[in-house]
Amino acid sequence: MSATVELTKENFDQTVTDNEFVLIDFWAEWCRPCKQFGPVYEKAAEANPDLVFGKVDTEAQPELAAAFGIQSIPTLMIVRDQVAVFAQPGALPEAALTDVIGQARKLDMDQVRQQIAEQQAQQQGGQGA
């Protein structure tokens, strides 16, 4: 049994809402780097059973890929408390993936939300001028 969850437009919102920490691998069957990243991602999923590791097949779920502006695959995204805190295209080596997960675990989400609110306030303040 796989340690990862297949994400579709039917279960995506529910998965992200119900789980505090979700990693998402955007991939496709024809993508060679995606296939190389797959075992690294599965291994990380087995090593972090408290986190949700999802996979989005961009061929089967083009709406999800479009909604997140996925331009190249594989792309790894990390969502904490329904906020995307990391998104990067390219197949990460195992050590880099472990490091990214560790950094995302350490994030102070109250601080992240405050930064987002400040950025949004700045953007809204600059539009009317």
Q: Active site includes 31?
A: yes
Catalytic-role residue among 23, 24, 34, 91? 34
Catalytic-role residue among 7, 16, 24, 31? 31
- Concatenating the DSSP letter of every residue in 39-69 gives HHHHHHHHH-TTSEEEEEETTT-HHHHHHTT
Question: What is the three-class DSSP state of 105?
Answer: helix
Q: Active site includes 59?
A: no
Give the residue among 101, 90, 95 at the shortest CA–CA distance from 52: 101
Task: Report how far residue 43's alpha carbon sits from residue 99's, in angstroms, rounded to the nearest whole number.
Answer: 14
Residues with catalytic function: 31, 34
